[in-house]
């Protein structure tokens, strides 16, 4: 859901987490995500 653009706080509520840190634990970017981010910066 985060990848689709939903906010962390909404995902936390839907997942039943009372603490955003719990939700954030599952949103660590993969190496592929980081590579895409660098590639986007290189084209701007």
Query: Can you say how many angstroms the Cα of residue 38 is from the centroid of all Cα atoms in its chain?
Result: 16
Determine the pLDDT at residue 44.
Answer: 59
pTM over 0.85? The answer is no
User: Is residue 18 domain-resident?
Assistant: yes
Determine the pLDDT at residue 12.
Answer: 95
Which residues touch 22 (CB under 8 Å, ≥6 apart)? 12
The tens-digit pLDDT sequence of the chain (44 residues) is 888 889 999 999 999 999 999 999 888 888 998 998 899 887 65
Range(s) of the domain holding residue 22: 8-42
Nearest to 21 by CA among 5, 9, 34: 9
User: Is residue 2 domain-resident?
Assistant: no
User: Is residue 23 domain-resident?
Assistant: yes
Q: Using CA atoms, how far apart are residues 34 and 23, in angstroms rounded to an integer?
A: 19
User: Is residue 3 domain-resident?
Assistant: no
User: Is residue 28 domain-resident?
Assistant: yes
Tally of domains in the chain: 1
User: Is residue 15 domain-resident?
Assistant: yes
User: Is residue 26 domain-resident?
Assistant: yes
């Amino acid at each position: 859901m985060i990848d689709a653009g939903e906010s962390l706080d909404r995902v936390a509520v839907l997942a039943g987490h009372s603490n955003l840190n719990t939700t954030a634990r599952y949103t660590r970017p993969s190496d592929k995500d980081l590579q895409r981010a660098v590639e986007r910066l290189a084209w701007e």
